[in-house]
Structure formats: C-alpha cells, structure tokens
C-alpha cells in the first residue's frame, strides 16, 4: 500500500432531518483513510450509511460534522464551484443503475464526459476505444445500450467513469443489478483499474465481494467497525 494519502476523513457525522422533527444520524463518527491504488469495500446492511458516506467523500453532500481532506485540502470548506470541479476532474462514479444514454452508442457513451473539453475529437475517440478494449467490449462499440446485456452496460459505464482518468472511483452497489457471475466480472475489471493506480471505494451489502478488497470497512447503524 502506498504511504501517500489520497483521502483522509475524520469524525464524520451526517444528520438528516426527516419530516418536521425526526433526526436520522446516518453517519456517526466515521473516520477513514484512502490510499492511491487501494480497493476499499464499505460493507453493511441496507440503511447502514454506505451511500451517505460515498456522497460525502465524493463531494455530493457535506457532513454535519467532521473533515474530509483530499490530497491535504479540506473539501468540506470548498465552494460549490470547487466541489463541482472536484467531482468532474478527480472523481469517477459507478452506480447500480448504469444510466447510459439510450440514443448514443457504447463508444459515444464512453466519450460523453470529454465532450465539453477542448481535447480533439480524434484523441477522445482513441481513448474511448482503448477503454472499451480494456473492458473487453471492443466488438460492441457501435451497439446501443438496449442491445447490450446488463454486464456489458455496466462495463460501458465503467469505461465512461474512467475516461477522465479519475484518482478515485466511487461505486455504489455496482453489482446490485447483475447476476453473480457478471458481478464478479465487474469486480475483476475494477480490480484491474485499481492496480493501475486508481483508488476504488465500493459500497455493497454483498458479503461475497469482500474477497476482492484490500480492506473492508464495516458499517452498522452509521458506525464503523474495522475488521
Ligand atoms: P445504505 O446506503 O447503507 O443503505 P444510506 O446511506 O442510504 O444507507 O442511509 C443511511 C440512513 O440515512 C438510513 O436510515 C436512511 O433512511 C437515511 N437517509 C439517507 N438519505 C436520507 C435523506 N436524504 N433524508 C433523510 N434520511 C436519509
Ligand atoms: Mg445505499
């Protein structure tokens, strides 16, 4: 494991208001460190706070208490514009539902995150093709999402998450809608990505994914138990 720290989160508390008076303590004093090229599994039952933690670490929401340093800078103090930049340039997302764009081909879906940039289109295409090759999808590049299996769609989504070369990938139940064999394939792909230098943080309630992780962090009722 690299000694360099990519993310250092300390004493995170997240309290949601539900209705007029009820408070939900979704995270209760959670601290963790993420190193480059490390695969961390956030494991716990439904409602234990996994998605909440991913949302805080990825700058989609702010904690009620606590700090989150990304390469030494506390992102909880950042402006919305800085957080947008962080999500755009540093972070990749993979969700349970892959949310590909129906009227674009697999190749175009992978290219989408680079459309608003100044990178020449030929370069974008080359990168997208390389990523599809890495995901073992090269023969599917002209297919539309509805012509692809669930596992293939998830691999397109993973290639899309990778095209901006994020430092860290957050994956929320990435195998949740897949059969176990296809889910294992996604995990193997994530592992390859991880070994090439990207940190990967996966939230799951699926115990069988633990074997892929360098480290598992167990959440229960918003609290952490490392093992
Ligand atoms: P997990 O991803 O492990 O299933 P979540 O992080 O989604 O858990 O939820 C943790 C707890 O916080 C749950 O009790 C959930 O109902 C609550 N919660 C999550 N998001 C909100 C929200 N936006 N408003 C109110 N309560 C929420
Ligand atoms: Mg969740």
Q: What is the pLDDT of residues 69-92, one digit of tens each?
A: 999 999 999 999 999 999 999 999
Q: What pLDDT is stored for residue 227 in this prediction?
A: 57
Q: Are 20 and 183 in contact (CB under 8 A)?
A: no
Pocket-testing residue among 52, 55, 202, ligand 1, by greatest number of atoms within 8 A of Cβ: 52
Q: What percent of the chain has pLDDT over 90?
A: 85
Ligand of minimum distance to the alpha carbon of 26: 1
- Counting from 1 in the atom list of ligand 1, the atom nearest the Cα of 173 is 2
pLDDT at 125 over 70: yes
Closest residue (by CA) to atom 14 of ligand 1? 47
- Counting from 1 in the atom list of ligand 1, the atom nearest the Cα of 222 is 10
| Beta-carbon contacts of residue 91 (< 8 Å; ≥ 6 apart) | 58, 59, 166, 167, 168, 169, 170
Q: Is the CB of 204 under 6 A from ligand 1?
A: no
Pocket-testing residue among 25, 48, 49, ligand 1, by greatest number of atoms within 8 A of Cβ: 49
Q: What pLDDT is stored for residue 2 in this prediction?
A: 62
Closest residue (by CA) to atom 5 of ligand 1? 49
For 15-69, the DSSP string reads EEEETTTEEEEEEEEEEEEE-TT-EEEEE--TTSSHHHHHHHHTTSS--SEEEEE
Instruction: With both helix axes pointing from N to C terminus, report the angle between 150-162 and 121-134 in degrees, rounded to the nearest 10.
Output: 130
Q: What pLDDT is stored for residue 142 in this prediction?
A: 96
Q: What pLDDT is stored for residue 95 in this prediction?
A: 86
Q: So where are the chain's domains?
A: 37-61+79-215
Q: What is the pLDDT of residues 148-187, one digit of tens each?
A: 999 999 999 999 999 999 999 999 999 988 889 889 989 9
d(CA 78, CA 56): 13
d(CA 102, CA 79): 33
Across 29-44, average pLDDT: 96
Distance 47 CA to ligand 1 centre (A): 6
**CATH, domain 37-61+79-215, list 3.90.870.30, 3.30.360.10, 3.40.50.300, 3.40.1280.10:** 3.40.50.300
Distance 162 CA to ligand 2 centre (A): 22
- Counting from 1 in the atom list of ligand 1, the atom nearest the Cα of 45 is 3
d(CA 56, CA 129): 32
Both ends of the chain: CA-CA distance in Å? 17
């Amino acid at each position: 494991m690299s000694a360099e720290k990519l993310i250092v989160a300390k004493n995170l508390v997240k309290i949601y208001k539900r209705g007029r008076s009820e408070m939900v303590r979704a995270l209760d004093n959670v601290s963790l460190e993420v190193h480059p090229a490390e695969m961390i599994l956030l494991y716990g039952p439904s409602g234990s706070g996994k998605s909440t933690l991913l949302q805080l670490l990825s700058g989609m929401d702010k904690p009620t208490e606590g700090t989150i340093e990304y390469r030494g800078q506390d992102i909880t103090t950042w402006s919305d514009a800085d957080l947008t930049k962080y999500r755009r340039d540093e972070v990749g997302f993979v969700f349970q539902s892959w949310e590909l764009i129906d009227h674009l081909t697999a190749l175009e879906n992978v290219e989408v995150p680079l459309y608003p940039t100044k990178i020449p289109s030929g370069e974008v295409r080359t990168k997208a093709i390389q990523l599809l090759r890495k995901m073992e999808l090269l023969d599917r590049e002209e297919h539309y999402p509805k012509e692809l299996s669930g596992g293939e769609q998830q691999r397109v989504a993973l290639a899309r998450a990778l095209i901006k070369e994020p430092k860290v990938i957050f994956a929320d139940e990435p195998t949740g809608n897949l059969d176990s064999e296809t889910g294992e394939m996604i995990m193997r792909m994530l592992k390859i990505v991880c070994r090439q230098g990207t940190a990967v943080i996966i939230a799951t309630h699926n115990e069988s994914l633990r074997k892929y992780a360098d480290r598992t962090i167990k959440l229960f009722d918003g609290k952490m138990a490392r093992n």
